[in-house]
Amino acid sequence: MFERKGQLFILSGPSGAGKGSIVKEILTRREDLFLSISATSRTPRKGEVEQGSYVFLTREEFENNIRKSNFLEWAEIYGNLYGTPKEPVFKALEEGKNIILEIDYQGALQVKRVYADAIFVFVLPPSLEELRQRVINRNSETEESLETRYYSALEEIHYLERYDYFIINDILEDSVNKLDAIITAECCRVDRDILSLIRSNHWKPKE
């Protein structure tokens, strides 16, 4: 067996596009894929602490981490701070694990600047009406944040052109199949890593 560095995948898309459900499902399918747990300054929703969805920090703690450059990327979204802890991501990639980040477009653009090898996937809702319904169906938001989230979602869609792949999330099963296919294909790409392996002794016939 030869060792290869892990691949970094970024999944973004507007609130209500269904990124969370896709990620949850793909993680049950692929043993070679791991989710990066983000830090946030927002207050936990019901059940989130137990599920380990985020590392919950105070705003002050979060800002301290920014100062210490502990984040691969971070962004302020709806008045709360969200960020990807840098260390565990790079460590896992070095160990050959594939990592997925579920982050917004501001964070994705930062990752693009510092880690060009990442693969960027954008999840779209099947229609704007469906998006609106999905945002409304999330009981955890207040009326005001529903509107904010809907309009931010519309804006966020403009960033699609900066991504490598898109998935229209109509039927969850199909969307997960697509992401699965993207991950498999990207892990089979010919890149500098694999070329240096081929030129090394790995495939030399035994004397």
In the complex, the smallest distance separating the C-beta of residue 10 from ligand 5GP, rounded to whole angstroms, is: 10
Structural element, H or E, at residue 146: helix 143-156
In the complex, the smallest distance separating the C-beta of residue 190 from ligand 5GP, rounded to whole angstroms, is: 31
| Nearest to 86, CA basis, from 8, 164, 163, 197 | 8
Residue bearing tokens 């035994």: 206
Pick 92 or 197: Cβ nearer ligand 5GP = 92
Pick 56 or 126: Cβ nearer ligand 5GP = 56
In the complex, the smallest distance separating the C-beta of residue 7 from ligand 5GP, rounded to whole angstroms, is: 18
In the complex, the smallest distance separating the C-beta of residue 77 from ligand 5GP, rounded to whole angstroms, is: 5
Residues contributing to the site for ligand 5GP (CB under 6 A): 15, 38, 42, 73, 75, 77, 82-84, 102-104, 106-107
Contacts of 22 (CB under 8 A, 6+ apart): 11, 123, 167, 169, 172, 175, 176, 179
Pick 21 or 106: Cβ nearer ligand 5GP = 106
Please answer whether residues 20 and 138 qualify as being in contact, where contact means their C-beta atoms are separated by less than 8 angstroms. Answer: no
In the complex, the smallest distance separating the C-beta of residue 151 from ligand 5GP, rounded to whole angstroms, is: 14
Alpha helices in 30-104 (DSSP H): 48-51, 59-67, 86-94
Pick 6 or 14: Cβ nearer ligand 5GP = 14
Residue with nearest beta carbon to ligand 5GP: 107
How many whole angstroms from its chain centre is CA 2? Answer: 27
Residue 192 is encoded by which pair of tokens?
A: 């500098």
Pick 102 or 186: Cβ nearer ligand 5GP = 102
